[in-house]
Amino acid sequence: MNSGKLESRVISLICFFVVSARELMNDPKIYGPMRLIEATKHLTALAADLDLHNELLLEVSQRIEAFPLEALPEGEEEFVEFMDELIMLLATWVKDS
């Protein structure tokens, strides 16, 4: 990825963070965790585009892609379970590192 495209992706991600932060002032409580999962999705996509091939990042990305974020906030319990599973996956990596 060339530096101009990388710069654009990073700026887009920063825009997402800042706009999300502002919108969270008015959004329902569940939107904060949803937006953070969306940000994680963007970061794993950026890592893949930068050829950072890592099994953990791939697993996280696949799990996020498979979870229906658009179904929230109706499926809040399932979302909590989903986040707990991601945390356990990441904790295993931290423990083994």
**pLDDT of 97:** 84
**pLDDT of 73:** 60
- Mean pLDDT of the region 48-62: 93
Q: How far is CA 93 from CA 21, 32, 36, 58, in A?
A: 29, 25, 20, 13
Choose among 41, 42, 37: nearest CA to 13: 42
- Mean pLDDT of the region 27-36: 90
Predicted structure pTM score: 0.85
Q: Read off the pLDDT of residues 59-87 as tens digits, 9 standing for 90 and up.
A: 999 999 999 887 766 778 888 999 999 99
